[in-house]
Amino acid sequence: MKNKKIYLSFSNQIQAAAALAINDDIVEFVQEERFNRKKMYRGFPYRSIKYLLSKYKINPKDINKIIYCYADKIYPKNEIKKNISLRIDEGLKQQQYNKIKYNQRLNSEIKLQKKLFSNANLFLKKFKLSKKKINLF
């Protein structure tokens, strides 16, 4: 795939998926649930990425740019907590939640965001890709 611009995009939120663009044309998009048979899968799309790279015979080092789309591109914990807290507050205006439920939900969202962010870093390390290649959305 020499002399071609290769972009890999993926999302690890609900309906995790990956997309591949070559020379500014999207060539394929695939959802992780296709491989793991879990509807509305929320997690890192390892199999989707592997499928795209394998099908189009792309070495990860040939990728020009990685676009990592995830809700709340936030880190570290203080920012995660602040942002998720605002989201939950909006939802709570419509429902009656008690403080214990609120804190449980907040802590579980923080834990999930940290895990998803960590998975993206592991992906970069596994393929020895530079963090300079990744854009967060």
Going along the chain from its start, the domains and CATH numbers come out as 6-136 (3.30.420)
Query: Which residues in the chain show pLDDT less than 50?
Result: 72-75, 137
DSSP H helices, the chain, are 33-36, 46-55, 77-92, 99-126
Contact 63, 10 (CB under 8 A): no
Predicted confidence at residue 48, as pLDDT, reads: 92
Note the pTM of the prediction, 2 decimals. Answer: 0.59
Please give the share of the chain, as a percent, with pLDDT higher than 70: 63
